[in-house]
Amino acid sequence: MNIPRLILWALLFCGLLLYIVLFEQPRRPAEQVPAENIIKVFSVAPQDISGLEIIQNGSSISIARGVAGWEIAGRSGVLVNQEMIDSMITAAADTVVVEMVADNPGDLSQYGLAEPRLQLHLTARQAENSAVLLIGKDSPSGVSCYALMRGSTKVMLIGKYLLFSINSLLDSCR
């Protein structure tokens, strides 16, 4: 037997064992945010929304739930892509507040909310659940945008998926 070679293999084995013990431990699952800490922008379920109006760049489009599905107001018989409007309604109902930015800010123009780039009027079956969301400028990171519920004084950050869904819907209605 070759003792030096045996010692070398034993040291190599001990080194690998030490590496596995120190660095290859199972990962702990990431902490999840408790559901009670998630704040939704709208307090209405998608199935309770009966209509919506989108105002952007001085023009508006109104869509209402009809007998045959979603219809563009003023254009009787013209149906919009039902899956697209359902997706946009779900995106609106599921939009959460990423961060509360300011409570009662003096100047809304710094957030692009003095003259918002988009207004979303959601009409619910129960009038107290109807709401108007004003959407302003993008945040500096570019992954969220500033928003304000009409009648509220709290400026919030929301994700841009809702804005993407609205723009997709507007493009399909033109």
- Within-domain flag for 18: no
- Within-domain flag for 115: yes
Boundaries of domain holding 150: 38-173
- Within-domain flag for 163: yes
pLDDT < 70: residue spans in the chain: 1, 30-36, 75-79, 174
Number of separate domains in the chain: 1
What long-range pairs does 151-154 form, CB within 8 A, spacing at least 24? Answer: 153/103, 153/104, 153/105, 154/100, 154/102, 154/103, 154/104
- Within-domain flag for 110: yes
The pLDDT assigned to 122 comes to 92
Q: Give the CATH number for residue 141.
A: 2.60.40
The pLDDT assigned to 133 comes to 94
